[in-house]
A and B are shown apart, each in its own frame.
Chain A
Amino acid sequence: MNKNKKKLDDLFYVIFKIPKNKNKKNASHKNVKKWDSLNHVSLILAIESKFNIKIKPEDSIELTSYKKILNFIKNF
C-alpha cells in the first residue's frame, strides 16, 4: 500500500506539481488546479505505465481523486 502511495505521489508531482510529501487525502479534480481533462488523460496513461496495468475508458472517467485512484489500484 505504501509502495503504491509513493508511486502515485511521484506521478502527482510530475503531472500536477504537488510536492511528494504533501498530504493529498482530499486531492481531487475539483481542488487541484492543474487537473484538467488533458492532464487527466496524461495521468491515466502514466498510471498505466507506472503500475503496469490497463485501465478501461469507463473506469478512467471515475478516477477523479487521489483516494479513488489508490483504491482502484489496490483492488486491481
Chain B
Amino acid sequence: MKYLNLTPYHKILELLESNKFQYNKKITIYSLYNFNPLIFNKYLELHLKQRSLKPKILSSDFDQIDQELLSINNNLKSKKFDILVIGSDINAKLSYNESALDSYINSQKNNLVQCLKIINKSKNLPIIFFNCSILNAAFFSSKEKFTKLSKKIVSFNQYLHKLSLKYKSLKILDVNGIGNLIGLENFYDSRNYYISKTPYSQQSNNHISFELSQIISSIFITRKKCLVLDLDNTLWGGILGEDGPDGIDLGETYKGECFRNFQKYIKILLNKGIILAICSKNNIQDVRECFKKNKEMILNFNDFSSVQINWTEKYLNINKISEELNIGKDSMVFFDDSIFEREQMKKFNPTVNVIETPKDPENFIQAIENSSFFYQTSLTDEDKKKKYQYEILKKVNKFKAKTKNINDFLKDLSMTIEITNINKFNFERSVQLTNKVNQFNLTTKRYSSSELQQFLKSKNQISLLVRLKDKFGDHGFTALAMAKKVNSKTWIIDNFLLSCRILGRGVENVLLYELLKKLKKKKVNIVKGNYIKTKKNQQCKDFFIKNSFIKKDRAYICELNKLRKLNNSFLKIKYE
C-alpha cells in the first residue's frame, strides 16, 4: 500500500469545487514560501477541508520570506491570522555548491531568528517551519560532494528539531523525511519548476501539504479520545472461538508478526493517553483466558478501560462503551476488520468515526496513522494521566451503584477542589479544556492559545481553574470559569465548563459560587450569564436557574447583593 494516495490535480480542483465539506472551525493561515505555492495551496486547501477546517490562505508573493519576516511586526498588526507557515525549499533555486548551501542555511537561520522574535512577542502564535529537504543528487558531479553537502543539511535539521523542543509554538515540518519516504526521483520535478516555479512533483505537493494539514489540525482540532477494537482478525489472526488461545495467529508467523506489531502500536497509543475499548462478538471467558495464556500477547486485558464482549450488535454495544466511559461517540474511533460491522456502525451510529481497515494486517498501523485521529504535536501531562483517570471514574461508578443516598455518596468521596488562576503552568490545559469540553459547557467558546492569551492580558477579567481530588485519586484540572467586565457594575460570564469526567458532584455549583463571591468583593452588582445551546450541552440548560439566577430577555441575571450562601457540605475548597 502506498503511504498516501495521490489525488490527480484535476480531481483536487473538482473536489474543491464540489464543496461537500463540513466545517468545524475557520482558520486563517499566513504563509511565506520561496516557491510558487499555487498548486501546493490547492492540495493544502483540500486536505484541510477534509479535516473539517475551513482555511483562508494568505500567501505572500513567492520568494519574499526575508522581506516579509523583517516587516512581520507590521504584518502581525495589520493582518489577522491564526498560524504562520514558513516554507523554504533549498532546491527551489537550483544552486548546488558549498557556498550556496552555506548562504542558504544562513538565510534560514536569519529567518529563524525573526521567528523567535515573533514567538517572544506573541507567544502563542503557532509557526510551522519546513526543514531542509534532500539535495537533488542528479545535479551532482561527485558522490563526495553530495555526501559533504548532505551532512550540513542533516546537522541543520537537527538544530531545527532541538529548537522546536525548546519553543513549543515552533513546529517543524519534516520535508526531508518526506523526501526519504517517497524517494528523490519522485520528490522533485524540474519540469514543474520551469513551468510553475515549484520544485515539487505532484506527489510531494500532496505529501507535504498532507503533513502540513496534519500539524495544523493537531493545533486547532482536538484529537479523538478512545479507540474501540475488535479482536478476531484485528488484534490477532484467526478466530479465537474456533482456533483456541494457542491456535490464533500471533507472534512468529508472517501474519502473526504483523498482528503483534499492531498490538505494540496500540500500546504506544495507550501510553499517549488514548483510551482503549474492546467491542467483539466472542465468549468473554475465552477472551480472558486468551489474554492470560497466550505468551505472544503484547496488550493486557486490563489495558482496556471498557470491554463489551458478547453477541449483541456492535452499534448497540458502542453506546454502552460511550456511557461507561462518559465519552461522546464523536470522540470514539471504531476499528474492525469486518466490512459488515463497519457499514452497520456507519449506518446506525454515524457519529462514531470508522476507519477503513485494510485487508492485510501489515497496513493496519498506517491506516490509523493516516486517519490522524490520534495525531498530536505535543503531549501535555494531562493526557498521560487521562487513562488512569478514566479508570478512577469506573471505580466511582461501581461505588455509586453500591451507595444509596447521593449526598452520602458525595460526602464519602471526600472531595477537595483547588481553585487557581490560569497561569503559565496550566495554560495549555486551559486552552485544551475550552476546546474539548462539549457537554457541560455553557457558552462553548473555543479559545486558541493566542485568543486566551489575549483574554488573560486584560485586567478586567477573572479566570478560575479547578483541580479536583477525591478518595480515588487526582482528577486533574477539570473545570474552568472565565468572566469579564462589561461596565463598572456589570460583569459577564464568558466561559463556564466542566469536564464530563467530574459531572454529578456539585463542583459546578461551588465553582459558580466562588466566582460570584470574588466578583462581589470587586464591588460588582450584576453578573450576567448566557446559555448558548449546542447539540450536546442540553444538560446544563437550567444551570443558572438552579443557582438562583433570574432569566431576563435571553440572558440570566444575578444580583450580587442578594447572593445567598451555598449549602456545601461535601466539598473542601482550597485556593492556590
Contact = CB atoms under 8 A, between A and B. Distances in A.
A13 B17 contact: yes
B196 A41 contact: yes
A41 B10 contact: no
Contact of A11 (B10, B16, B38, B202): B10
B254 interface: no
Contacts of A48: 9
Size class of the B contact interface (CB-based, 8 Å): 10 to 19
Contacts of A44: 195
A50 B8 contact: yes
A65 B202 CA distance: 25
Given A13-B17, A41-B38, A42-B38, A49 B195 contact: no
Given A49-B8, A57-B194, A38 B13 contact: no
B191 A57 contact: yes
Interface string B216-253: 00000000000000000000000000000000000000
A57 B39 contact: no
Nearest to A48: B9
A33 to B, nearest CB: 17
Contacts, number: 43
Contacts of B196: 41, 45
A49 B14 CA distance: 12
A46 B13 contact: yes
B402 interface: no
A57 B14 contact: no
Main secondary structure of the interface of A (DSSP, over half): helix
B479 to A, nearest CB: 48
Interface in B155-187: none
B552 interface: no
Interface residues of A, number: 17
Nearest to B195: A57
B202 A41 contact: no
A75 to B, nearest CB: 20
A53 B151 CA distance: 38
A50 B191 contact: no
Contact of B195 (A14, A15, A41, A46): A41
A42 B39 contact: yes
A49 B202 contact: yes
B398 interface: no
B11 interface: yes
A14 B9 contact: no
Nearest to B39: A45
B167 to A, nearest CB: 34
B14 A60 contact: no
Interface string B1-42: 000000011110110110000000000000000001011001
Interface string A29-54: 00000000010011011111110000
B14 A10 contact: yes
Contacts of A49: 8-11, 202
Interface of A: 10-11, 13-15, 38, 41-42, 44-50, 57, 60
Task: Across the A-B interface, give the 3 residue pairs with the lowest CB-CB distance, nearest first.
Answer: A49-B8, A50-B10, A46-B10
12 contacts: A11-B13, A14-B13, A14-B17, A41-B39, A41-B195, A41-B196, A42-B13, A42-B38, A44-B195, A48-B9, A49-B9, A60-B195
